[in-house]
Amino acid sequence: MIAPGAAGRCIAHLIESDGPGGAERVVAELAAGFQAAGARNVVFVPADGEGWLARQLIGSGVEIERFRLDRPLSPACARSMAAAFRRHRVDVAHSHEFSMAVYGAWASWLAGVHHVITMHGSRYYAGRLRRRAALRAAVAWSGSVVAVSHQLADQISRDLFVRRSRIDTVANGVRCAPGEGAAVRDELGLGPGDRLLVAIGNLYPVKGHRYLVEAMARLADRHPALHLAIAGRGELAPAIAASAAQHGLGGRVHLLGLRADVAAVLAAADVFVLPSLSEGLPLALLEAMFAGRPIVASDVGEVRAALAGGEAGILVEAGDAGQLARALEDLLTDASRARDLAARARTRAAAEYDVSHMVHRYGSIYDRLLACVGGGLQAVPCGRA
């Protein structure tokens, strides 16, 4: 399904962080996907990063370049990236999120290559005029700007005073990875009669885990065999554990930390929960859909579209623990509805959110830019004036 123009070309993928996050996983999938299709790929990661992203690409043939960005304004970093683009004979540079959007556009202008920006959901640039101006300039000097959700595309258009027609939308995609949940349930000490809610996401305020713990507390008396497992790492781990203890849930709320066996964790779940306050299109949601889990999710970002307006999962208002508890109660007490929603979610995931669809759509964008006469940086994408 990959657009043919990428074969034989060199694609650079730029990202400022390389921990186990959603944007980093998308970069890994794109680089590996295009590499397998015959393109050469180079992933640019911070020199002082965690190394997680590079480890995901071991054995794929994808090359790794490391950059240093020691201060907010660094011409040396832009020049170094441009030199690396020339050395690798890069045809398209694809930057992810704010910092690399700016430096990728700058380096691409210096090196004379096509540039693509993808924004994944974070709008921290919007709070400062200087950042908005920098990102608007990057957009003006890029061949394509991509948002992972229609809502985010609308926000970028408003934030930067950019025509909405200049912004493409490409949904994230994941691989279908069947898992076996028995080992996870054994690890948690769960018996056949225990029910398990699962959430996957780093432990940051925006992920809304505090509301999930509160919803769990509202259900605890009516469902004494109900447990909650949260997979992810982050600064709020002590606060979440303390909140669970205060609600008398110390033995029923399990913080799993960062997990490599996400498919197994999902397979162990009776219900998947996404309590986020803000999202673009979260990969954990897509993985839960592929896993065929009944889903309760906050109505944020592209979640409503992914769940077909509520036909493939229950949507709740973000930050409303009472509504979240009621939705979970519905699925815990209505097995037929839970099975129906799970089946619809799996069917929809296979049709719309397989990783091959994402790679193909980006391939089409690369093709459009590579077809431009002259082979250099284009301020306006071909056919998108």
**DSSP secondary structure string for all residues of 315-378:** EE-TT-HHHHHHHHHHHHH-HHHHHHHHHHHHHHHHHH-BHHHHHHHHHHHHHHHHTSTTSS--
Residues 263 and 299 in one domain: yes
- Bridge partner list, 45: 66
Q: What is the pLDDT of residue 1?
A: 46
Domain of 325 in residue numbering reads as 182-352
Residues 343 and 210 in one domain: yes
Question: Which DSSP category does 232 fall into?
Answer: B
Q: For 252-309, what is each residue's pLDDT tens digit?
A: 999 999 998 999 999 999 999 999 999 989 999 999 999 999 999 999 989 999 999 9
Residues 343 and 220 in one domain: yes
Q: How far apart are CA 376 and CA 378, in angstroms?
A: 6
- Bridge partner list, 255: 230
Asked whether residue 377 is domain-assigned, the answer is: no
Q: What is the pLDDT of residue 6?
A: 66
Give the chain's count of helices (H) and strands (E): 15, 13
Q: What is the pLDDT of residue 293?
A: 97
Asked whether residue 375 is domain-assigned, the answer is: no
Nearest to 44 by CA among 73, 85, 86, 2: 85
Judge whether 371 and 382 are in contact, CB under 8 Å: yes
Judge whether 173 and 22 are in contact, CB under 8 Å: no
Element (H, E) at 237: helix 237-246
> What's the mean per-residue pLDDT of the chain?
92
Residues 192 and 206 in one domain: yes
How many structural domains comprise the chain?
2
Give the ranges where 71-128 is alpha helix by DSSP (H). Answer: 75-88, 98-111
Indicate the pTM of the whole model: 0.86
Q: Check the CA dihedral 110-111-114-117 and report its sign.
A: negative
Contacts of 274 (CB under 8 A, 6+ apart): 199, 201, 282, 284, 285, 288, 295, 296, 297, 298, 303
Residues 232 and 293 in one domain: yes
Asked whether the predicted pLDDT for residue 221 surpasses 70, the reply is yes
Residues 24 and 111 in one domain: yes
Asked whether residue 382 is domain-assigned, the answer is: no
Mean pLDDT, residues 136-142: 95
Residues 211 and 89 in one domain: no
Asked whether residue 383 is domain-assigned, the answer is: no
Q: What CATH number did the domain enclosing 115 receive?
A: 3.40.50.2000
Residues 52 and 163 in one domain: yes
pLDDT band at 378 (very low <50, low <70, confident <90, very high): very low
Q: What is the pLDDT of residue 178?
A: 83
Q: What is the pLDDT of residue 383?
A: 43
Q: For 156-202, what is each residue's pLDDT tens digit?
A: 999 999 999 999 999 999 988 888 999 999 999 999 999 999 999 99
Q: What is the pLDDT of residue 127?
A: 77
Q: For 46-89, what is each residue's pLDDT tens digit?
A: 999 999 999 999 999 999 999 999 888 999 999 999 999 999 99
Q: What is the pLDDT of residue 382?
A: 53
Q: What is the pLDDT of residue 229?
A: 98
Residues 201 and 161 in one domain: no
Q: How far apart are CA 266 and CA 175, in angstroms?
A: 14
Residues 33 and 161 in one domain: yes
pLDDT band at 123 (very low <50, low <70, confident <90, very high): confident
Judge whether 281 and 148 are in contact, CB under 8 Å: yes
